[in-house]
Chains A and B, each alone.
Chain A
Amino acid sequence: MVTKVTTEDYAAASEIAWCPGCGNFGILRAVRKALVSLQIEPHRVLMVSGIGQAGKFPHYTRCHVLNELHGRPIPAATAAKIVNPELTVIAISGDGDAYGEGGNHFIHSMNRNVDITYLVHNNQVYALTKGQACPTTDLGYTTRMNPQGAWVSLRPLALAVACDCSFVARGFAGEVDHLARLVEIGVKHRGFALIEILQPCVTFNNKNTFQWYKQRVYKLEAEVGYNPGDRAAAFNKALEWGDRIPIGVIYQKERPLFEEYIGVSAAAPLVREEINPLQFRELMNEFK
């Protein structure tokens, strides 16, 4: 019998180096809660992260850790899942990691639809490099590197819907239970699950604070008649930003998995395949 998985099983593996009060703590609680609720043992989970405050995340829960380069967790997470689909693979990025440095992978991973979960911590700044604007910084918000104010503001969830990403959701670090639930659904979703998380940075973003978000976020579940299967409606929700900011599942769709397309499965993972040089004898005859 499998022993019961508890929150202790997901204790931090090293000392936490986030500022007190950072939104990341709420995300950490939510992710632990989701994994406990899913009863997945830590050694079945691989977290792949990029670089940034968000990138430190996997070190703070016991699990397999591949801390990648800035912007690159997605390719590594994709490959790890392909060679061993038995792993629950969670990729973790900051907004800069996901939408800036890793923008190309972001687009193509949504198209590819490998069964991984992607948590994007969006604090609307580059925090680890001390507060520059990022692709989702609110228009006009000034930073030391952008004294004239941010000039572009990407709507990544709209981009995700446009890419027909099979699962698009938004959570809020200040709504831990709601976020935990989203992570649970995302992990269970068959396909690429993007969960963007509104994460107040108490040090570098004095605009998008806990207070600011609390006044604006509303839950899509409570929205009468909202159907995450309706792409056009999802697109509109994904663009909504300002006085009201939706959280919850914005878009969900069943799509064939990339794993199926290339013929890998948990039943016969590539990592278990034997290496047998002699099986290539016949193939060599093609050169005759």
Chain B
Amino acid sequence: MTVDFNFMIGGEAGQGIQSVSFILSKAMMRGGYYVYSDQDFESRIRGGHSFSRVRVRDRKVRAPSEEVSILLALNKDTVDRHLDEMKPEGEALVILDERTVRSGLADKGIMLDVPLEQLAIQSTANRIMSNTVALGAALGAVEYDFDLLAGVLRQEFSRHGEKVAEDNVKAARAGYDYALQHRGKKFGQRLKARRASTKIFLTGHEAVAFGAMVAGCKFVAGYPMTPTTSILEYVAQKGRDFGVKVIQTEDEISAINMVVGAGYAGVRAMTATSGGGFCLMVEGLSLAGMTETPVVVVLGQRPGPAIGLPTRTEQGELWFALHAGHGEFPRAILAPGGIDDAFWLTIKAFNLAEKYQSPVIILTDHDLADSYSTVEPFDLSQVTIDRGELLSEQEVNQLTAYKRHLITDSGVSPRALPLVGKALVATDSDEHNEEGHSIEDAETRRQMVLKRMRKLDGLRSELGKPRVHKKRGAKITLVGWGSTYGAIKEAQELLVAEGLPVNVLHLNEIWPFPADDVALILRGSKKNIFIESNATGQLAQLTRRETGIKADATILKFDGRPFSAQYIVNGVKKEAS
């Protein structure tokens, strides 16, 4: 029997929803399950309505589901908002404390009334532990292995001292036992731990931040902005033991220019921001293009324009990333489709930036940023570091004169670093000659533009092919990019199961655009449906521009919420009929 179980924890900001969700997820992962968990938070610190979903499967899971199995309702609002998302009776359970929530569900078979506060006080004399009681109750209701939960609780709370850790275990146990006894006969769902897990569990932005460190990034400059603050914070905390420096700058303009300074001086450097901050960085991005300085910029999209929906998701900035900057210069754009991609493409970003001495943009979004999922540990022995044509001290000292912007067939000039040998390294935001000094003559200008643009050919040859998943008999191809990969892939599985086979084409390395590969696939398909989290179908437009092929249909979502597979399935069925 397959398992597809969906917990939801809802309440106010400040009720510990995130930590309940995280601990629950880890306990599930350690029992051998695949877990996907996403967060839905308002842009506020206290109050409001927030929830997190923890989806548990015995197969890969990369997207949320909208049907809830167990709802942990920490307030009444949660019940009111999510009751109609519950699975049918028998498969659904709402866990709440009727004394505080007053749901009016008493006569419904799906309710499990747990005296959360009372149990918290009885077991630990601490009312704050009621959310841990609820967590225990959720696992008790499905008879999950309690020891796995206790293990995660101890790990998570041990930094607050042994007493806090043990109190959490006690509180969870109280909830667990209570639920086990009182869950009633109607709810028949069980989740048994399967086997010991070898997996890891992390968010997309943790994967980017970790990947950057693995790639040898030594310098990060940034100004906090949701959803990329998590990258800056992760590296600031974990990078300390590895000599990685993180600077909180006065603004994003400073951040990008610092990254240019650090890249020029010779270290791998990165900044991370969101749309508004990226606006401020645009001039600096162009500077990196002109001075041929390697820089990596993470652009974590959220809905715009302006401040938009700060804590929500959207894929509205593909065109912005593509065109940001004045003047013409080469760049690469990578858009991870999940946690693995986020890690590996970040490493690739640093290699490409140095090999082509150009800016590389990693395009993520809020959904990828904050959603957790289980993946196999990254095989670090497979990581290659390619610093491109970086001259050693010996090589530099053999040169008679050094030309930072030497005109070459590939467009890439061998790169010397200050104080690695005695070469003088000059570069300029003005158009310059091979020595890096400013010029105005027409021919040098022409040659320099051509030299820089030649790098695009090299870049193009380095990008991987788009992901294609074909199904026999499919007449429809679902096309997407970036973080929506998981939902699209799952939609394909559901549609195949329902007898409507579809192909999937997914782009995670978007620029330079793999026009030939994309055209080949789209031409072999009867109907191409583009699925994007934006209002204008940016990939659809880009595809038309680059291949001449027009989208037959689009499924566009721009309400700030992520796609689920079911949402896509419904859209495809409408288009197919």
Contact = CB atoms under 8 A, between A and B. Distances in A.
Nearest to A12: B437
B378 interface: yes
Contacts of B424: 13, 42-43, 62-65
Contact of A273 (B243, B426, B437): B243
Interface in A160-183: none
B254 A43 contact: no
Given A14-B437, A273-B243, 18 more contacts: A43-B424, A64-B426, A65-B436, A67-B428, A69-B287, A74-B254, A75-B261, A76-B261, A83-B267, A105-B250, A105-B253, A108-B249, A278-B380, A280-B213, A280-B214, A284-B377, A287-B206, A288-B197
B267 A65 contact: no
A272 to B, nearest CB: 9
B468 interface: no
Given A51-B429, A76-B261, A84-B266, A104 B254 contact: yes
A287 B202 contact: yes
Interface in A32-87: 42-44, 46, 48, 51, 56, 58-59, 62-69, 72, 74-80, 82-84, 86-87
A287 B216 contact: no
B200 A76 contact: no
B283 interface: yes
B269 A281 contact: no
Nearest to A111: B250
A280 B418 contact: no
A275 B216 contact: yes
Given A14-B437, A84-B419, A287-B202, A277 B214 contact: yes
Contacts of A65: 424-428, 436-437
A66 to B, nearest CB: 5
Contacts of A67: 426-430, 438
A271 B380 contact: no
A262 B253 CA distance: 21
Contacts of A108: 249-250, 254
B438 A56 contact: yes
Interface of B: 197, 199-202, 206, 210, 213-216, 218-219, 221, 238, 241-243, 245, 247, 249-251, 253-255, 257-262, 264-269, 283-284, 287, 291, 377-378, 380-381, 383, 385, 417-420, 422-430, 435-438
B437 A59 contact: yes
A202 interface: no
A233 interface: no
Contact of B266 (A83, A279, A281, A287): A83
Interface in A242-281: 262-264, 270-271, 273, 275-281
A86 B419 CA distance: 8
Contacts, number: 189
Interface of A: 13-14, 42-44, 46, 48, 51, 56, 58-59, 62-69, 72, 74-80, 82-84, 86-87, 104-105, 107-108, 262-264, 270-271, 273, 275-281, 283-284, 287-288
A281 B426 contact: no
Contacts of B210: 280, 283-284, 287
A-B interface, 5 closest residue pairs, ranked by CB to CB distance from nearest = A275-B216, A76-B261, A79-B261, A287-B200, A75-B257
B243 A270 contact: yes
A82 B423 CA distance: 20
Contacts of B242: 279-280, 283
Nearest to B286: A69
A104 B429 CA distance: 21
Given A59-B426, A64-B418, A76 B250 contact: no
Contacts of A59: 426, 428, 437-438
Contacts of A75: 221, 249, 253-255, 257-258, 261
A69 B428 CA distance: 9
Contacts of B262: 79-80, 82-83
Contacts of A107: 250
A275 B377 contact: no
Given A83-B262, A284-B210, A68 B418 contact: no
Contacts of A13: 424, 426, 435, 437
Most buried by A among B213, B254, B291: B254
A74 B253 CA distance: 11
B283 to A, nearest CB: 6
B364 to A, nearest CB: 18
Contact of A43 (B255, B264, B419): B419
Contacts of B380: 277-278, 280-281, 284
Q: Which of A83, A86, A104 has the most CB of B within 10 A?
A: A83
A69 B265 contact: no
A251 B259 CA distance: 31
Contacts of B260: 66, 68, 76, 79
B521 to A, nearest CB: 34
Contact of B283 (A69, A84, A275, A283): A69
Nearest to A108: B250
Contacts of B427: 65-67
B219 A82 contact: yes
A271 B221 CA distance: 16
Contacts of A74: 254
A58 B427 CA distance: 10
B206 A271 contact: no
A270 B269 CA distance: 11
A284 B376 CA distance: 11
A62 B422 CA distance: 12
Contacts of A280: 210, 213-214, 242, 380
B418 to A, nearest CB: 5
Contacts of A82: 219, 245, 247, 262
A287 to B, nearest CB: 4
Given A69-B257, A284-B380, A83 B265 contact: yes
A273 B437 CA distance: 30
A59 B238 CA distance: 40
A253 B247 CA distance: 24
25 contacts: A13-B435, A42-B424, A43-B423, A63-B424, A64-B426, A65-B424, A69-B283, A69-B287, A75-B221, A75-B258, A79-B247, A79-B260, A80-B261, A80-B264, A84-B265, A104-B250, A105-B250, A105-B253, A108-B254, A262-B247, A270-B267, A275-B268, A276-B216, A280-B242, A281-B380
Contact of B219 (A270, A284, A288): A270
A87 B218 contact: no
A78 B261 contact: yes
A203 to B, nearest CB: 19
Given A43-B419, A75-B253, A284-B380, A68 B287 contact: yes
A136 B90 CA distance: 76
Given A64-B418, A275-B385, A79 B202 contact: no
